[in-house]
Chain A
Amino acid sequence: MAAQGGVHFQDKVSRLLSRENGKPVLKPNRTLALRDAVANRKLKKGGPESRCMIENNPSFLNPDSCNEATCITEMSVLMACWKQNNFVDGLCSNEINSFYICVEKAQTAMKNKSEQTSIQGGRLPPKQATTLLKRYPNLSTEI
């Protein structure tokens, strides 16, 4: 299995490195060997790198999905109550409780959603992939 794939793979690598058809595609300053680890990607909406507001395309790839802020209505209700009652907390206890309930629900929903996407993603999360590769590493010596 690996032997058949290996031959084709070696051919492709030699084609990429050859200088016969103009400049070579690869310029290897490090050895071309597969690592026993996977890169640690987590590019879901997480700050200034991901451009969520600019390209708001609904696509199914994880890095492009935009999450919106949760519990904004509850927060705005709470703040209106505060404004009315001059920030006295005793009079706004109902709004405060509903805000806390909303926050709890949002947190559990996020956890369930992340669990689901990590199980159904079709791919392993990077940490689990790395542990798996470390248990069955590439053979570096013949003995």
Chain B
Amino acid sequence: VFLVRWSRYNPYYLEPEVRKDAYGRPESELSAEEKEQQELKAIRPIKAATSGVSSSVFNDPVLSKFINMMMKHGDKVLAREILTQTLEHIKRKQVEKYHKTPEGMKDTIECNPYAIFHQALENCKPVVGLASIQKGGKYYQVPIPLSDNRRRFLAMKWLITECRENKHRRTHMYEKLSQELLAAFVKEGNVVKKKHELHKMAESNRAYAHFRWW
């Protein structure tokens, strides 16, 4: 893998658009801003794409973000390997369950590991977060709305720390991750418990909500 992307770019450079479906849209579908963007792309230089993104159908930005968060010391190969093993393990478990269920119930079992991952991540995302705001010399924990990126980051962070710390020492990371993901898919497990505790804290501190100024 040759590293083509520079680490510092002039702000003049635009981000590359990697997805194929963005180029298949007809002219009429684009709004005025998007037409301007297209015209800019013909003129301005474009940054090189990172080696983590690709234009294939299997490329998922959420999964790439998760792999980057799991990565330690720059070892992306190992992190990606762990994730593929996790997805395979989830698929195996689900197919096992699928074959054990009676005929009528077979539709309810979800076998697609990507769907399970996304649903589990959704179930782990908190709705409100707490911010430490200083008022009158004291610091209060104030409930605030969180942005989408922050919520996704918190969900992934909780998953990874939960798997790294609170499990048995001799299990592989992919096993721990798959257990957590399957538990989060049905809204059980320590991560959704942590999310509920955050919600409870926010709810108990709802009187301080007026300390926000944005």
Contact of B214 among A67, A76, A82, A90 (CB under 8 A): A67
* Cβ-defined contact, A82 with B203, below 8 A: yes
User: What chain A residues lie within 8 Å of B214 (beta carbons)?
Assistant: 67, 69-70, 110
* Cβ-defined contact, A67 with B143, below 8 A: no
Contact of B203 among A47, A48, A83 (CB under 8 A): A83
* Cβ-defined contact, B145 with A71, below 8 A: yes
* Cβ-defined contact, B213 with A45, below 8 A: yes
| Category for how many chain B residues contact A | 20 to 34
Query: Shortest Cβ distance from A18 into chain B, in angstroms?
Result: 46
B35 CB–A CB distance under 8 Å: no
Q: Contact string, B124-162, partner A, CB cutoff 8 A, digits 1/0?
A: 000110000011000000010100000000000000000
A129 CB–B CB distance under 8 Å: no
* Cβ-defined contact, B210 with A69, below 8 A: yes
- Given the interface pairs A67-B214, A68-B210, A87-B196, the reply to whether A75 lies near B128 with Cβ below 8 Å is yes
User: What chain B residues lie within 8 Å of A66 (beta carbons)?
Assistant: 213
Query: Shortest Cβ distance from B196 into chain A, in angstroms?
Result: 5
User: What chain B residues lie within 8 Å of A96 (beta carbons)?
Assistant: 127
Query: Shortest Cβ distance from B23 into chain A, in angstroms?
Result: 28
Residues of A within 8 A of B (CB): 45-48, 52, 66-72, 75-76, 78-79, 82-83, 87, 89-90, 96, 99, 103, 110
